[in-house]
Structure 1
Amino acid sequence: MIEDTKDLILEIQRNFPKLSKGQKLIAQYIVEHYDKAAFMTASKLAKIVGVSESTVVRFANALGFDGYPQLQKGLQDIIKIKLTTVQRVEMSRDYFGEEAILKKMFKSDIDNIRATQEAMDFKTFQEVVDKILKAETIYIIGLRSSTALAQYLGFYLNMIVNNVKIVGYGISDIFEQMLRVSDKDLVIGLSFPRYSNRTVEALKYAKEQNATIVAITDSFMSPIYGLSNYCLTAKNNMASFVDSLVAPLSLINALILAVGMREKEEITAYFNKLEDLWDKHNVYDNEK
């Protein structure tokens, strides 16, 4: 099995001389059109290239994969990182028919949540909950499309503990907002393709200050994985120019709930006080 799917295209090129004639046709097509091949079934790829479906399977085996689905996943991991937004739009046009959008997107999100649950390391999850409760200050950073996730996590964590700081674009620079980060603090970084370089830089700074770092990202290929002390992964396999953050949001919900259950008595009193405040200032519509 190829360890780093970032090098999959290079691996195909390396193995090219050893491939059969039919396999070389597949290899050439994938190298030139990996963005399209990533979402083709084995039978569709075989038909386009002009070989048998079994030749496609043997091609995957020749590269060290157990089967075509593993090769396909490797290609999908590549396009998360390499495709521009324009290329994603073109890919969406090929992948979706207007009638298929609802069905395919719902299925994709369901598959992502299921894969996230099955791959979750519960011990790491518990350790992250421990670190959240023990940290002096919790810094949360997520930029670009991950901004919504960071804001959501920060909003609810701030209801449970009172030491949360959401880092983002504003009057102060990101590094100014993290100036006082120390080894007593926890920094939670959220980053999904296309990964924000600014998030990576901020986590590198936090690591230099010996802060504990939790990465919430899509895979071990993510640039923030290597910077983290703990990593929680949530799948977001995309087939469009829209970043699917359904599985990451589900993971964040579980994390918030787990922290809340540890602080059950404290947050009950806190929420009672909040309800009084909300009623007094008519924050919510309470009309029956």
Structure 2
Amino acid sequence: MRDPYLEIASQMNSLSKSQKKVAQYVLDNPNNIPFQTVEKLAKEVCVSDATVVRFANALGYKGYPDLQCHIQNRLQRKLKTTERLKNDQSLGNTIDEQIKNYIMQDVHNVQSIIEEIDTYQFEKVIKAILAAENIYIISSRSAGSPGMFLNYYLGMLLGNVTHVEVLETDGEKMLSIDQNDVAFAISTARYTRSTLELFRYAKERNACTIALTDNFSSPLIPNADLALYTKSDFSSFFDSFAASMSMINLILAFVGKYKEADNTERLEELEALWLKLNVFY
């Protein structure tokens, strides 16, 4: 099943300047394309009709109608979902209103996973993780915390997981990464340079690269074999990782489910170790 958005993002660097304008509009306004003719899209982006057609051809489609059809199919599941939660941009005047609106923003971000998750991509992510000889979790700065969480519990289940945060001090951990391994990067705007560089290195080493990011135009996407998307919108000085954590919970739940038989003995050994070391109060 072709994913036009992933194709656009991965081929962005090879497009002409005018075609990039069309590509960015398509990525930023996915719901508009099924209802826009070539002429209307060209006028919206301020390019020629021929540029829109050449854009579709550059992606490997027979023409704009073919691209439009694939986008319609990609959005069909999303358009049939139950009524979306409204993200109230006004935080309100009272503390009660403000608390409600902050929480509802997180609820909206998590709800978007249910509405928009690509189950085909998700299943491939789980299979790649289960098949990997080694897994490298790449995340830093604000994304470091969800990366640490994923690293801790995935390591508990599989035992072959390494967290890589800082390019200058942790890069050596990925020295031997190869085609048998998985690199799992977590980053949202504003994207950190070290995560992008380490992810690019993993791609150059032919590892299976998985991105957990916030949109189709993320700079992680050109180097991603697989991608999962979560919203991080939040009306404050920081972005929310509530949806990212929810996606990570899903990954851990499915890995645990498929490895249940293998994990029973390992988890029992861990419990015995924790008891011996008096880990818990």
TM-score by length of 1: 0.65
| Residue type at the aligned position of 1:144 | R
Q: How does 1:215-230 map to 2 (within 5 A)?
A: 215-230=211-226
Pair 1:106–1:209, CA change in 2 (3 A)? same
Gaps of 5+ in 1: 7-13, 18-75, 77-91
Whole-Å separation in 2 of the counterparts to 1:242 and 1:109: 13
Partner of 1:102: 99
Shift of 1:201: 1.0
Percent identity of equivalent pairs:
32
Look up the match of 1:73.
Answer: none
What is the CA–CA distance in structure 1 between the aligned matches of 2:211 and 2:113, rounded to whole Å? 15
1:258-277 correspondence to structure 2 within 5 Å: 258-277=254-273
Structure 2 regions of 5+ residues with no counterpart?
Answer: 1-21, 30-42, 47-86
Instruction: Letter of the 1:114 partner, please give it.
Output: Q
The residue aligned with 2:59 is none
Q: CA deviation at 1:4?
A: 4.2
Structure 1 runs of 4+ off > 2 angstroms?
14-17, 94-98, 172-175
Letter of the aligned partner of 1:109 in structure 2?
D
Using a 3 Å threshold, how does the CA distance of structure 1 residues 16 and 164 change in structure 2: closer, same or farther?
closer
Task: State the secondary structure of the residue aligned to 2:211.
Answer: strand
- The 2-side partners of 1:16 and 1:165 are apart by 44
CA distance in 2, matches of 1:111, 1:203: 29
User: Do structure 1's residue 250 and structure 2's residue 246 form an aligned pair?
Assistant: yes
- Structure possessing the higher radius of gyration over alpha carbons: 1
The answer to whether the 8 A contact 2:91-2:98 is kept is no
| Aligned match of 2:134 | 137
Output the CA distance in 2 between the equivalents of 1:4 and 1:231.
15
Looking at structure 2, the residues matched to 238 and 195 of structure 1 have their Cα atoms a distance apart, in angstroms, of: 16
The separation in 2 between residues aligned to 1:110 and 1:16, in whole angstroms, is: 33
Preserved contact between residue 174 and residue 202 of structure 1 (Cα < 8 Å):
no
2:185 corresponds to: 189
Kindly report which structure 2 residues correspond to 1:8-47, keeping only aligned pairs within 5 A, or say none.
none
Task: Verify: 1:163 aligned to 2:163, yes or no.
Answer: no
Match of 1:5 among 25, 28, 38: 28
Change (3 A) 1:104 1:134: same
1:213-264 deviation digits (Å, cap 9, x = unpaired) = 0000111121102210000111111221122000100110010010011110
TM-score (norm 2): 0.67
Question: What is the aligned counterpart of 1:280 among 258, 265, 276?
Answer: 276
- Give the Å deviation of 1:174: 3.3
Task: Confirm whether residue 212 of structure 1 aligns to residue 208 of structure 2.
Answer: yes
Relative to 1, partners in 2 of residues 1:95 and 1:223: Cα closer, same or farther, differing over 3 Å? farther
Instruction: Flag the 1:203–1:132 CA change in 2: closer, same or farther, 3 A.
Output: same
What is the number of equivalent residue pairs in this alignment?
Answer: 203
